[in-house]
Amino acid sequence: MAYFLFVIALCVVSAAASGEASPFLGLYSDPNHPDCYRKVVEMTTFSVYGQDNIGGEGVSCNTDDESQLNNWGPCPAFINSTHITVDLSAKGGPSDLLGTWDAETNRIVWADGNYWQHSLPAAKNGKK
């Protein structure tokens, strides 16, 4: 049993040392909240941040009136290679929203039917 735990710990350390980033990390757009950002980050743990217009779902965050915007997060997240679970209870959402990485469309598809489209950074050569 101790050997088994050692092997698992070694795999975790090796994965972290390999520098492979989770596909979930980065900036996203949410069609239910136009022009509002979503961000998945990793510090010591995974967290999700975002912004909503206080006008509610469907209302753009593209406004000069900062008092209309609600920045939220960090919301704790748990990530593996294909799934993310986020606790959005601090902002009035579910405590265990499950999302799946869709590599074909480069997005998180949520169990509630919504999706977050990944905003790819420009490549080093300036091309996307």
Residue 15: alpha-carbon gap to chain centroid: 20
pTM for this model (two decimals): 0.76
Share of the chain above pLDDT 70, in %: 77
Amino acid at 55: G
pLDDT beyond 70 at 82: yes
pLDDT beyond 90 at 48: yes
Cβ 110 vs Cβ 28: under 8 Å: no
pLDDT beyond 60 at 6: no
